[in-house]
């Protein structure tokens, strides 16, 4: 109501044609049929179109001129009529705003994956997670390792957020434009604030449908990532050569007691770029497998014993060099209970 009144007053103030919509049809037609050149109307239209391009003073003057034009009432009535028609036809489409279950689902998923999550902390939260994992002190069992996974996830997250921001910015920019345009035009054209509002709504819906696409594709990416990493975390990837070397070195140089302390494990983990639990796994596997078939590991044992011996001791005794590597064990852990055959 208020809107209506405001609009009306605006129109009236501009043109003083309070009774535009009633009887002027005939006038217009009369004028037209009287042979008044059609060019006249074309001119007016053109001038109206050009209004926004002009400076305010110019426009003001031009507007005044237009309002005093004898064709103005007719044109205005036509516009009113057209508008009424379109409003009628649009009104049916007005029903809207179902809280889209689809988009809710996507939102929830993104939230659960930590993509759209507490977004101020986007980078910092991820960084914190990384730091916690890297610090090693965390209860770093098998659940959230795979820095690869996290890196990819944060990458996706970054893309998602920047895109989202872009969309939002574009949306508000566009909305502003449209609103300004409509407001500007509402001075010469019958446009109610409600209509502007509706227009904004339409724009927002359009943009949010675009956003949904973004969300959808982000979801897809996350799903793919998950299937490739988390679900495949049971998939085995061999450690690199250097890592196994470090581990073996430790194992064979502590063959009498191959139970690294927590600190030692952490250090090994760091050196090998694996997790502490992986170190534990490795030692568990190694111990049982070594014990189960010492013979099979003899060669390896010698190799690493030699290595560490050479590494640690310079040259203490020449004769023992051949001997000591073959029997590096001195304590409770199962010693090779047979004499090395393949060795020199």
Partner DNA sequence: CCTTATGATTTTTT
Partner DNA sequence: AAAAAATCATAAGG
Residues near DNA, by CB under 7 A: 142, 233-239, 244, 259, 274, 277-278, 280-282, 284-285, 287-289, 291, 296
Q: In the chain, what are the helix, strand and coil shares in percent, each to the nearest 5?
A: 75, 0, 25
Alpha-carbon gap, residue 75 to 154, rounded angstroms: 58
- Alpha helices of 143-256 — where are they, by DSSP H? 147-185, 193-228, 241-253
Taking CA atoms, 107 is separated from 170, 171, 219, in Å, by: 21, 19, 9
Q: How far is the CB of 132 from DNA (least distance, A)?
A: 19
Nearer to DNA, 108 or 281 (CB): 281
Q: How far is the CB of 107 from DNA (least distance, A)?
A: 30
Q: How far is the CB of 145 from DNA (least distance, A)?
A: 8
Q: How far is the CB of 329 from DNA (least distance, A)?
A: 14
Nearer to DNA, 41 or 230 (CB): 230
Check residue 329 and report its DSSP letter: -
Nearer to DNA, 38 or 238 (CB): 238
Contact at 8 Å (CB) between 25 and 77?
Answer: yes
Q: How far is the CB of 335 from DNA (least distance, A)?
A: 14
Nearer to DNA, 87 or 230 (CB): 230
Alpha-carbon gap, residue 68 to 85, rounded angstroms: 27
Nearer to DNA, 110 or 274 (CB): 274
239-254 CB burial, b ≥16 within 10 A, e <16: eeeebeebbbbbbbbb
């Amino acid at each position: 109501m208020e809107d209506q009144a405001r609009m009306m007053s605006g129109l009236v103030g501009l043109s003083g044609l309070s009774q535009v919509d009633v009887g002027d049809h005939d006038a217009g037609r009369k004028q037209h049929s009287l042979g008044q050149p059609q060019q006249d109307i074309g001119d007016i239209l053109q001038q109206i179109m050009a209004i926004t391009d002009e400076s305010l003073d110019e426009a003001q003057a031009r507007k005044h001129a237009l309002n005093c034009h004898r064709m103005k009432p007719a044109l205005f009535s036509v516009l009113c009529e057209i508008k009424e028609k379109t409003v009628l036809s649009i009104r049916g489409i007005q029903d809207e705003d179902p809280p889209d279950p689809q988009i809710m689902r996507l939102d929830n998923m993104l939230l659960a994956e930590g993509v759209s999550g507490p977004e101020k902390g986007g980078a910092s939260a991820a960084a914190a997670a990384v730091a916690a994992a890297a610090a090693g002190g965390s209860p770093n069992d098998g659940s959230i390792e795979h820095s690869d996974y996290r890196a990819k996830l944060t990458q996706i997250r970054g893309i998602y957020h920047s895109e989202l921001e872009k969309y939002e910015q574009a949306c508000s920019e566009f909305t502003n434009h449209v609103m300004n345009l409509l407001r500007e035009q509402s001075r010469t054209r019958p446009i109610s604030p409600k209509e502007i509002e509706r227009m904004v709504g339409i724009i927002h819906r359009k943009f949010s449908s675009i956003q949904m696409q973004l969300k959808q594709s982000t979801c897809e990416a996350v799903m793919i990532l998950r299937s490739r990493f988390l679900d495949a975390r049971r998939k085995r990837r061999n450690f690199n050569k250097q890592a196994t070397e470090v581990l073996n070195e430790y194992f064979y140089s502590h063959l009498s007691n191959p139970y690294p302390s927590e600190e030692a494990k952490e250090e090994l983990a760091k050196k090998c770029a694996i997790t502490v639990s992986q170190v534990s796994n490795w030692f568990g596997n190694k111990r049982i497998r070594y014990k189960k078939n010492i013979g099979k590991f003899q060669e390896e044992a010698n190799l690493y014993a030699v290595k560490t011996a050479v590494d640690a001791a310079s040259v203490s005794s020449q004769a023992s060099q051949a001997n000591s590597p073959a029997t590096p064990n001195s304590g409770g852990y199962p010693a090779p209970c047979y004499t090395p055959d393949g060795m020199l």
